[in-house]
Structure 1
């Protein structure tokens, strides 16, 4: 078994371990929320500090968050058109599921195991652009269509963005890097130790969140969301991979990044705005399975 396949088998084994532990009631799905908070507030920022503090910024890296952000805006606009015939609340719920990506919890552990720091810096920049989509665009859509008045609290949007530890870590460490400053060595050493826990914790959390049951009434809208995300995402990814004359890691980031699962952040949004949380969770789970298979195939054969 080659290195890539062995890494995916190992990742799948940890995901299935998490699912098994949930099924035998050793762990609960609610434990996944605790692990996720630990990842997003401790281990993921630790990775960002280690990677961003020493990386060399070039034009290909700066282009990654721009593409990620613009693609998210376009996908949101396309979704609003596709779901224009749905009721107001249904339109809001379905549209918020289309533009965002799960980078930190899903992509980071696999990318780290295969490409190490060189891969993480590209996916970190991808997630920077994606963060604006997750915390601004998706939240605005969810908020506007949740009520008949179409009101949105920009104060809440700002608060959510400023309370995102990974997002703030991206911005601060990138600024430190561009200014030519350095992070104290003790911080680098501590975050280096903490970052090693990210991969197993993230994969275990994915297993705890997995669920394979859903209502048949979900099928139509689930199919539309999946078709939008993967047909457009994969198509644009292939075009960038073949037409943009930049380094291979940039191309792989675009090809893989645009077919990642839906961000987990939409689940708390669905709770906050009283959408169908079970539907949101079901679609999220399905995209995890599809993206895992596609990512495995792309990395193995491209």
Structure 2
């Protein structure tokens, strides 16, 4: 138990450091864009390569992909129903943020610190299903309800997915592993060195993007959104935790996976589709705080 608490404490310190650096103007929030590109295009793919190059798939791992995908589709439908009476752009903005999780930036550094590469493998499989939601469904919802002229064709959606280096690294690495194709030892060792930077950089970036201010007019919509996202996530996660007959790591992945923060992809989509980017940023920040507290409670009272 103490190792879990130590990991959360170290994470809080690094996040707080990132926030402090921003508040004291040593780092600007816009600097986070460059750091984000380093994480998603270098350190995170390196971590995925190290964790998945020798993976052996079993039923539980494949089921995590299905859960991540199916749950996202269900939540998309729930969001459309719950927010159906909202004005069109508000409905699109809220519904777009209901499905999809922030796994790469938020979950991986905590999971790596607590469970190591085994945890990354389980959450990575869940993330694979989640990727189809983040780069497919969320984009479709955002484009459909927006006033912009963004294209909704299959080519555009496919490009969204293939341009994600972490997602393509998942696909290629798992294919190589299943085909029993050996990778050069130098490549694995180099990736291992680079992957070490993923956890601190990701936590620093969370701190840089953290923001505690929001307009009071947002409060009602925020409360509705949080109720939809977390009440369903907690009930569904607890139900699958109890009912599914797999190992503890699988159960923890599902339980924690369904209460993770909203996807960071909502921010660039909000810009592309002319939604209220300040609202989207506020909600995304709040889900990070709520999910962090929920993970700490699960780590102390369930795991």
TM-score, normalization: structure 1? 0.98
Q: Deviations over 1:251-285 (max 9, x none)?
A: 00000000000111110000011100000000000
Q: Residue in 1 aligned with 2:157?
A: 157
Q: Residue in 1 aligned with 2:88?
A: 88
Q: Deviations over 1:198-231 (max 9, x none)?
A: 0000000000000011011111111111111110
CA RMSD after TM alignment: 1.3
Q: Residue in 2 aligned with 1:22?
A: 22
Secondary structure of residue in 2 paired with 1:271 = helix
Contact 2:40 2:166 (8 Å CA) reproduced: yes
Q: For residue 44 of structure 1, report the CA deviation from its aligned partner.
A: 0.5
Q: Does 1:193 align with 2:193?
A: yes
Q: Residue in 1 aligned with 2:76?
A: 76
Q: Which moved more, 1:245-254 or 1:171-180?
A: 171-180
Secondary structure of residue in 1 paired with 2:30 = helix
Q: Residue in 1 aligned with 2:209?
A: 209
Q: Which moved more, 1:277-286 or 1:80-89?
A: 80-89
Q: Which runs of 5+ in 1 are unaligned?
A: none
- Find the aligned partners of 2:123 and 2:2 in 1 and give their Cα distance: 23
- Find the aligned partners of 1:23 and 1:83 in 2 and give their Cα distance: 35
Q: For residue 153 of structure 1, report the CA deviation from its aligned partner.
A: 3.3
Q: Which runs of 5+ in 2 are unaligned?
A: none
Q: Deviations over 1:166-208 (max 9, x none)?
A: 0000011111111122222111011000000000000000000
- Find the aligned partners of 1:16 and 1:150 in 2 and give their Cα distance: 37
Contact 1:162 1:168 (8 Å CA) reproduced: yes
Q: Residue in 2 aligned with 1:257?
A: 257
Contact 1:144 1:151 (8 Å CA) reproduced: no
Q: For residue 102 of structure 1, report the CA deviation from its aligned partner.
A: 0.3
CA 1:151–1:54: 2 relative to 1, 3 Å? closer
Q: Residue in 2 aligned with 1:239?
A: 239
TM-score, normalization: structure 2? 0.97
**Aligned positions of 1:115-130 closer than 5 A:** 115-130=115-130
Q: Residue in 2 aligned with 1:13?
A: 13
Q: For residue 155 of structure 1, report the CA deviation from its aligned partner.
A: 2.3
Q: For residue 151 of structure 1, report the CA deviation from its aligned partner.
A: 5.9
Q: For residue 147 of structure 1, report the CA deviation from its aligned partner.
A: 2.7
Q: Residue in 1 aligned with 2:139?
A: 139
Q: Residue in 1 aligned with 2:283?
A: 283
- Find the aligned partners of 2:101 and 2:153 in 1 and give their Cα distance: 23
Q: Residue in 2 aligned with 1:50?
A: 50
- Find the aligned partners of 1:234 and 1:290 in 2 and give their Cα distance: 12
Contact 2:147 2:274 (8 Å CA) reproduced: no
